[in-house]
Each structure stands twice: as structure tokens, then as C-alpha cells.
Amino acid sequence: MRDYENRDGVMLFGGMKVTDIADEFGTPVYVTDEKRLRENYRNVHNAFSKHMETKVHYACKANTNLTILKILEQEGSCIDAVSLGEVMTCLKAGFAPDRIIYTGNNVSNKELSAVAGLGVMINVDSVSELERLSKLSDGNKALPISFRITPGVGSGHNAKVVTGSTGSKFGIPEKDVIKTYLRAKELGFDPRGIHVHIGSGGRSSEPFMDAMEVLIRFTNELKEKGIELEFIDMGGGIGVPYRPNEPEMDVDELAADLTGMILEETDIKKILLEPGRYIVCDTTVLLTRCVDVKDAGIKKYVGVDAGFNTLIRPAMYDSYHHIALGNKFGKACTAKYDVVGPICESGDCLARDRVLPDPEEGDVVVIYDAGAYGFAMSSNYNSRPLCREVLVNDGKAELIRDSEKIEEQWIHQRIPERLIG
């Protein structure tokens, strides 16, 4: 978790007072620090590339804002996309097709055909998908493909985001890996790599090492069968600290260990990785404003204008996000409060039992580490418009997504003529 500068009792973010950002753009609003975004990408790329050829494929499901994508495109990032919409969004942001890998799950023929037509590498998730891709690709067997396998190793901050365990809905089961690659060759494809993704937000290196052992074993078995791969893709899932004093994962050590295994045990010279959370999580805060303070006897509440429609992670995953009062930054805390939003459900709680300074209506409440799966998972629940997004850099703020208007939620709705009269 990042530390922030205090200027006259106000938190600074990206060189700006959070109160000034909230006053200019309103609340709730997601605010991203461009400098931190560039630093995070460089940190993870440099950690691996000093050992072997490396391609960092940003897992854009974490945050697909066009400006954030454009910044990463400038940094030299590649993309891990999981839907046709993500692929097209990244193309619009300036990524060339050969910098994008598409890893779908339970992909329809319509989407598979459309993605194949865009020329991006397809990371095939099932035998069914392989067979359908062969029929849909119009004989274009030069289409670059890889395979996602299920390594029997899972990791993640919550059971809902563990993806690599045996029996997972994701990937080719271990028992089918070799014959699936051989089938791909029979169909005329030339598989380029092998991929796993064990889960999201794990903060231990052991599962990554265990999954890499599986990848190495299959890579070498495939070579014996006459299939020589170009790369190993370790996927994403590098965790970040959300709580105060939580240690960071040692990415340099992880990189040295994983690349060392590949170089010592295989002939592979290129590693791919797909971090999303690691790159964008701590680049962004969610600013929301206190609109109500309530003492319910056994519980005290700070009511804010952002709910789980704006940030669903606490309600969906029981996730912790650190919270501070941006205009009372560093002031002594006096009591415990639950920070709750305006959604008509008792589960609309952003934080429980947080010790805060005396809250007042109008305070700017800062929710930390909101860049990954924050705006990307927001919704119109309770018919509430999506909020703004802002980029800050060297003390200047720019709007990178305007807020939705209520009436824009009706654009795609149709009332049958027979009901109008």
C-alpha cells in the first residue's frame, strides 16, 4: 500500500490535493496517477527482461480505459484480452494485432470467428474451441495459437478468482494436453506457446514455481513429440498489498527464480507474463464524499456517494481497501465507522470498523488501490450513472472519461408501440 504526502492536512495524489480534484470533477470519481502507472509497468518488465526475452501482456480486464491503455502502449506493453470487446478496445488504443493475445473461455462461434478475423494470437482454452476454430478460420492455419492448460495449481485472494486448480472451468486438463497439441498439428496449426493462469492476487511465489514446473514438463514432452514451442506464458496474478504494513511481493526474486527454471530446464528463450492488478492497482484512488453521518447505537456509519455500483470488490470478494479522510489527512482517529454507500442493500458496505477522524458531511473520503477491477466492474445498479475518471500527472488533472447521464441508460431500451398511447 502506498504512502501519500500530507500538505496542510490534505492528502496529495499525483501532486494535487484530493480536495481540489473532488471540487473540480465532482464525486464519486476514479483518479489515476500517470507517473505511477509507467513506473509499475517498467518495474515488472525490467525484473524479467534482465534475465531473458520478455513480453509483458497487460491483463486489460483490470482496467480498459483508453487513456490508460494508450500510456501502456507507449511504454511498449502488449495485451492479454479475454473478450472481443477488449481486443477491439485495445486496437482502438493503438495496439497492433501482433501485440495482443486473446484468451477466451466458453467462446461462442460468433466471437471466435470475429477474433480470428482480427489477426491476434488466440490462446485456445478447450478441445471444442480448437475444433471450432479450425472450421471457422477459413483454412487460415497460419493463425497464431497457443494453449491454456490447467496446471492443477491454484492461487488467489479469494476462492472466486482461483483459476488453475484441477477441475477448473479454465484450460486444457493435464490429461489432455499432449494429445491436444498433437491434434492441433493434425489440423494444420503451428502452436507457438503454452500458458497457465493460476488465479488473481496471490502473494506467495510457491504456486508460481509449482505451475512453472508443470509448464516445463509439458514443454519438454512436446519437444520429444516434435513440437517445439517459442514461449512459455506464466499468466498473471502477481498480488499487491492492500493493507498498511503488508509486505510487497518480491518481483525481482520471482522473476529470477522463474526465468532461471526455464533457462536451466528447457530450450525456451522467451517468457510472457500477464499482470493486470500489479500494473494498475495502486495507480488509482476512488474519491467519494461524505453525505451522511449516522450513529445507530451499536454501529456508526459514514454514508458516502459511492456504493457497490461504483466499487463492488468489498461486497463481492470481502476485499479490504484502505480508507482515509482526504481533507483530514493525518488527524487523530476517534472512533470506528462502517463506510457505506447509497445502494438499497445492506451489503452496500465499502469498509467495516475503520478507525477515522471525526467525519462530517462534505469530507472527501479516499479509497485506496482502486485501479484494478474498480471502474471495470462498476454497474448501473439502482439506475445510477457510471462515474467520471480522471488522470493526474505532475500536478495537473485531465478528464479521461465523462460521467454518464441518467437518460443515457435508456439509449438501448425499446418500449413496444402497443404499450404507448
Give the number of residues written for the chain: 421
Give the chain's radius of gyration (CA, Å).
23
- Which residue from 179, 173, 189 is spatially nearest to 133, judged by alpha carbons? 189
Q: CA 375, 85, 68: angle at the middle one, nearest 5?
A: 45
What distance lies between CA 130 and its chain's CA centroid? 26
- How far, in Å, CA of 379 to CA of 385, rounded? 8
Whether the CB-CB separation of 155 and 208 falls below 8 Å is answered with: yes
Catalytic residue among 333, 344, 349, 387: 344
Whether the CB-CB separation of 263 and 53 falls below 8 Å is answered with: no
> Does 344 qualify as catalytic in the annotation?
yes
- How far, in Å, CA of 413 to CA of 156, rounded? 38
How far does the chain reach from its first CA to its final CA, in angstroms? Answer: 57
Give per-residue burial for 270-300: e unless 16+ CB within 10 Å, then b.
bbbbbbbbbbbbbbbbbbbbbbeeeeeeeeb
What distance lies between CA 241 and its chain's CA centroid? 15
Q: CA 204, 210, 215: angle at the middle one, nearest 5?
A: 130
- Strand-strand pairing, 270-273 and 231-233: parallel
**Which residues are tagged catalytic?**
344
